[in-house]
Structure 1
Amino acid sequence: MSTQENSQTGLSAASSAEQGRQAARRRLLKGGLSVAPVAMTVVSRPVLAGSDTCHGPTGFQSAPPSRVGQTASCTFGKGGGPDAWKSTKKKDYPEDCGDRKFRIAFSDNRLFGDLTIFQAIQNDFGQLNPNSADRDVARKVAAAYLNSLKRNGFPMSTLQVVQLWQGYNSKSYQPGGSGVTWTAADQFQRYLNYVMSA
């Protein structure tokens, strides 16, 4: 056999081996890709249960339907709700915001514009006489506002609390741009109870 024939035979053997490896890689990838959707549906973890962190509104609303209506609590810690803040003196509120009015804190004057954060926490709505749902949400939002200013690890920023209140007033809150609109007071209350373990 000539040198040229030997090198052609070697090249064809090498290209056959390379083609074999490529075919094996394609089979492996095809097999792996066909199993991936099945594996993704098998591995399911509840969003809220057994977690050491709190979830924002988007993560909270994506809880599996089997958990809807169940009370979950955030591991942020108990005591951040309105009743816990009620015993705090106004002078001890973070950033001296006890006398801050809702219209200033939340850039919104639709509900409770002249009500102060302190009044909301104290459940002192005076002559405003709101319905119980508005009163409960206002108290919890005021506590969340204080938590966002004072407590490390609170899962909502002050801006997120403000946006939550504005969304409640306009009945157009969409957590994280999810496309799902919260319009009912109980949606807001469930989330606020969750983040404050109320």
Structure 2
Amino acid sequence: MATSLLGTTNLCILLMDQPDLMKEFFKILGAKLVEYIKLLRSCCDVEYNGIAINDDNCFLFSPELYERYCAPVMENLFKKFAPEKTDTRYQHLDSNMQHLIPILNELGVNAVNFGPEIHPATIRKLMPDARIYKQMPPFVLRNGTKEKIIEIVKRDMDILKADGNFVETPAGSVASGTPLKNIRIYMWAVQEYGKL
């Protein structure tokens, strides 16, 4: 949301040049997020413990900047909407944010869908208890050969299926123009190689 409100370049400059201003900005942003989520849930008559964060820009933050500005917002969201460690604390991010995974693990994020550049073995190592949703790169699913699609599914299953805390999905989305035949190959491979 910070990049949408301020613009990406402005955000990056302000983080470095105006740390006090940005600390106040993120404090207000966090408070408004809580208000917004409460309002949405009241309008939709939804009551449950859990929250999903869909953020494609936090990879711009170094670990130090993320801990200073973003982690307090996340902690507060979890406190308000996912207070128990077993409540869903989901993080989606299409970009490569491997440098932030240890912080997310510390925050108690327990379900993730990260960009396909991060190897599933790395995610499992850094987040041993998280449910992993992914790993098929959307453009491989759209443009890849049958062999390449199957290769990625087999890789994922070899690494992740044994612990039962993995859901094979495209990383992010199914790209526009993906042929139905490739989706069928993908579904077949998941069924075939996902068996325990």
Higher strand share: 2
TM-score scaled to structure 1, two decimals?
0.23
